[in-house]
Structures are given as structure tokens and as C-alpha cells.
Amino acid sequence: MSWDDAFRALGRRECLSLLGKVPVGRVVYTRQALPAVLPVNFSLDADASVVLRTARDSDLVRAVDGVVVAFEADEFDAAAHSGWSVVVTGRADVVTDPAEHARLSRTGPRSWMPLHDAVFVRITSELVTGRELRAATDPR
């Protein structure tokens, strides 16, 4: 394999498949006019949306409800110099429909933190991109 072949762009379907295999990703958003990154556990919904469960009064909810955010997840093997990264870009909205909230309470992600008054945040997968890094021979 040549050095130029080390990176491979991933298609949408492959990206979503990889996202379904990891439990934690990072929400990228704006907080006080500065970039912010927050690691969160998540799940993918049937419509390929990223779903988070958090506290209703959290800083995250106030910052992302109704705005475009990015969500990134990855998996790397440092010893093999390989891995992948997927980025989902889309609008984040707090789920307000009672039936949808009830469904996600049964099927959606469980927060790793104890929550009072939990809400779900849905990030639509408007743009999904990914790259895979495969071990390559160093050209030096």
C-alpha cells in the first residue's frame, strides 16, 4: 500500500454503520462565541439521527437546541496505525413530543450520569462524512 492510499473516504452507509459500533462521541458546538467539545454517550435512531440524553437544565441543552452542531466519533488502534473517524453535521433539537420522548425512554441512550428531568437531544444527520486510516508504509 502506498502512502497516498492510507486514507480512504467513507460513504454515508459505512459511516453510520461504524457509528453504531461505538458508545461515545463528541458534540462540537459554540459556547459563549467559542468552540466547545463535549464527550457524550449516544445512540443512533432508526432515521440515522444521533440521540443524546441529558439534563433539561444543562448548559448543553441551552447551547445546542435549535442550532447546527457537529458530532464526531472515532476508533483508532495506535499500535496498528489505523482507525476511522466519522462526523455528523446537522441541527440539534430537544425532543418535545411526548410520544417520541416515551419511545426514546425505552429505546434511546441511557445516560452514564444520574439525571433528574432528562431530555433527549436529536441531531439530524444532514451531512455525514468519514475517513478511514489504514496502516501505510512510511515513504522516508
State the pTM of this model: 0.89
Q: What is the pLDDT of residues 3-49, one digit of tens each?
A: 556 789 999 999 999 999 999 999 999 998 999 999 999 999 999 99
> Does residue 140 lie within any of the structural domains?
no
> Does residue 139 lie within any of the structural domains?
no
Q: For residue 1, what is its C-alpha cell?
A: 500500500
Say how far apart CA 69 and CA 71 lie, in whole Å: 7
> Does residue 42 lie within any of the structural domains?
yes
Whether the pLDDT of residue 139 is over 60: the answer is: no
Say how far apart CA 138 and CA 21 lie, in whole Å: 30
Say which CATH number the domain at 117 has.
2.30.110.10
Domain extent at residue 43: 3-133
> Does residue 23 lie within any of the structural domains?
yes
- Which among 48, 47, 43, 45 has a CA at the least distance from the CA of 24? 43
Q: What is the pLDDT of residues 68-116, one digit of tens each?
A: 999 999 999 998 889 999 999 999 999 999 999 999 999 988 888 777 7
> Does residue 15 lie within any of the structural domains?
yes
The count of domains in the chain is: 1
> Does residue 138 lie within any of the structural domains?
no
> Does residue 66 lie within any of the structural domains?
yes
